Amino acid sequence: MLNVLRHNDRTNKIQFSGYTLLRVDHISSIQQESLTFVDAIIIDTENNEHATDLVFFIRKNADLAIALKPIFINNTCQLNKTFEIHTDGYIDLNELSIAINRVDIITKRSKRISHKNTVGHDYQVKQKILAFLFTRNSTIVPITNRASLIGYSFPFIDLFYKEEEVMSKLSMLEKSVECGHLSTNLKDFVHLCKRCHGNYLNFVEACPKCDSIDIKAQDIVHHFVCAHVAPEKDFKTKDGLACPKCDKQLRHIGIDYDKPSSMYSCNCCNHEFQTAKMIAKCIDCNAENELSALIKKAIGSYSITSAGEEWLRGGEEQSSQVSLLNDGVMTLSLFKIIASQELKRITISKSTSQIAHILFVNERLDTFDDATKKLLVKEIGAIIKSYLLPSDVMAADNYNSYYLLLPETKEQFPKRLETIQYNLGKLLGDNLQERLLDIKIQTHQLIEKETVDSIIKQFHK
């Protein structure tokens, strides 16, 4: 009854602590709505098809900002379990504050993602998945599902692949893990049909010669005293076992006879063999797979890595970082190795060295266009290097964040860092009326027994 009422009242906006939530029951009610000014969507229907249409419409939206909007289900509605996993969960309309908390986080995090136009389905999907993981600050955990071809459903990810595209889905995830943007936690292995990639398989033993499954195992009997060996049926008499070679009765297993092995015989081609062939029959496409032909795939949960977050923010501009690195600036991993050697050195030599961190606060550089950014990055590198001593070492984490190793430096904040801060500030000021405050320089004096990682962590607190 209530549903009918809502149908008439098609748009239903809820305002709550500065956010706008849109309550919808059918795709038609959001098609004419500009979703840009909505912060979250509440699905308010018990019709699974309508709800699915809504989720697809939002998640597949070309505008990343819209695709990432939180989608809730009104907790008065009961929807299919396999569908729920693609949303942000249920919402209690009488208790909005918990949901609003999530909306707040998702909205703020969404703003930190650079909205760029991308080409290629896989590339777009990868960006969406990384963005989803980043905005939700969580992990995508696969869920067992008989309805899925491979037996597992992936929340969110599954929305972008048809059932038969499961291989490209898994390979996209594998590639993202390979390039370090996603991290994975192994949950299971699945073995898939070589033809249709289904995992609903029936395992049967078969004749290695003719593939018939009509095979029967027989124990082999060995009569010790005469060394006669034959299948049990040769020994069978109406009152037990008797040896066909020496006519003796077989009385006691282990004393006068034993069963050292067993043999199969094929009722189709009469082949006799010991090792049956295992066949995995596919319930979906009837293919008969040999076990070695099955495709083995890892199923894992996925989280975004810091490199993945960086990729999300910087996207293709990574190339500029490479050119920056080529300019006599080392990578962070190499810097860590050198810094830990320095740590060992000061432990022995009892000298004082510093590590400094230069940070452009609020990722200021991201606000520039690509061409300016490239120029600026080059200038920044040049400025920092020009004031460093020959023994100083410089590394770039990304173009907002730089590390310096300053060996044999006693002052808490050495003069050369002051100069660098002043000149960098001037550089930013010339280009965009920025103040010195936006460049943060921290220093840390190396102490015995600490690690480079812990120092770097401290800088980011």
Partner 1 sequence: MSFHIENIVPEYINYWHEVGLSKFIRVFWYFILFEFTRYIVIDYIIAFIFGANKKKRAEKFEKARQLLRLENPFVSVIIPGKNEGKHLFKLTRSLAEQTFSNFELIIVDDGSDDDTPIIGKNLERLGLIDKFIRNEMRGGKASAANLALRYSSGKFIVHLDADCSFDYDAIENVLVPFYMSPKIAAVGGNVKVRNYKESLCSKLQAIEYLKTVSVGRIITSYLGIYKIISGAFGAFRADVIDAIGGWDIGPGLDGDITVKIRKSGYKVCFEPSAICLTNAPSKFKVLTKQRLRWDKSIIRFRVRKHKDVYFPNANFSWSTFFALAENVFYNVVLDILWWFYIIDIIINYSSQLQFVIPMNFTLYFVMSYVQMCSIYVFSERRKEELYLWPYVSLMSIYTGTYLRIVRTAAYYKEFFFKRSFEDTWNPYKSSAQAKKAGL
Binding site for partner 1 (CB under 8 A): 208, 220, 222, 224-231, 234, 245-246, 254-256, 258, 260-261, 263, 272-275
Interaction partner, residue 287 (partner 1, Zn ion, none; CB < 5-8 Å by kind): Zn ion
Which option in partner 1, Zn ion, none does residue 254 bind, with CB closer than 5 to 8 A by kind? partner 1
Which CB sits closer to partner 1, 233 or 345? Answer: 233
Q: How far is the CB of 274 from partner 1 (least distance, A)?
A: 5
Shortest spacing between CB 227 and partner 1, in angstroms: 4
Q: Which does 269 bind (CB under 5 to 8 A by kind): partner 1, Zn ion, none?
A: Zn ion
Question: Which of 256, 366 has the CB closer to partner 1?
Answer: 256
The partner in contact with residue 242, picked from partner 1, Zn ion, none with C-beta cut-offs of 5 to 8 angstroms by kind, is: none
Biggest CA pair distance of the chain: 110
CB of 273 to partner 1, least distance (A): 6
Q: Which is nearer to partner 1, 102 or 223 (CB)?
A: 223
For residue 179, give Cα distances in angstroms to 120, 182, 229, 304, 306: 18, 8, 60, 12, 12
Task: Identify which of residues 179 and 226 has a Cβ nearer to partner 1 in the complex.
Answer: 226
Terminal CA-CA length for the chain: 54
Label residues 185-218 b or e (16+ Cβ within 10 Å = b). eeeeebbbbbebbbbbbeeeebbbeeeebebeeb
Task: Tell the smallest beta-carbon distance from residue 225 to partner 1 (Å).
Answer: 4
Interaction partner, residue 332 (Zn ion, partner 1, none; CB < 5-8 Å by kind): none
What is the separation of C-alpha 92 from the centre of its chain, rounded to a whole number of angstroms?
30
Residues in touch with Zn ion (CB under 5 A): 193, 195-196, 198, 207, 209-210, 212, 223, 226, 228, 243, 245-246, 266, 268-269, 271, 282, 284-285, 287
Of 63 and 272, the one with the shorter C-beta distance to partner 1 is: 272
* Minimum distance from residue 257 beta carbon to partner 1 (Å): 9
**Cα of 127 vs its chain's centroid, Å:** 12
What does the alpha-carbon distance between residue 283 and residue 280 come to, in Å, rounded to a whole number?
Answer: 9
> Minimum distance from CB of 287 to partner 1 (Å)?
20
C-alpha–C-alpha distance, residues 106 and 136, integer Å: 6
How many CB atoms neighbour CB 356 within 10 A? 23
Tokens of 278: 């295992």
In the complex with partner 1, which residue's Cβ is closer, 145 or 218? 218
Helix, strand and coil in the chain, % to nearest 5: 40, 25, 35
Residue 198, both tokens = 């289904």
CB of 232 to partner 1, least distance (A): 12
Closest distance of CB 311 from Zn ion, Å: 36
Locate 311 and state its tokens. Answer: 């990729």
Q: Which does 193 bind (CB under 5 to 8 A by kind): Zn ion, partner 1, none?
A: Zn ion
- Cα 398 to Cα 277, 319, 374: the distances in Å are 56, 11, 12
Nearer to partner 1, 57 or 273 (CB): 273
CA dihedral angle for residue 266, residue 269, residue 273, residue 277, rounded to 10 degrees:
-80
Query: Which of residues 225 and 285 has its CB atom nearest to partner 1 in the complex?
Result: 225
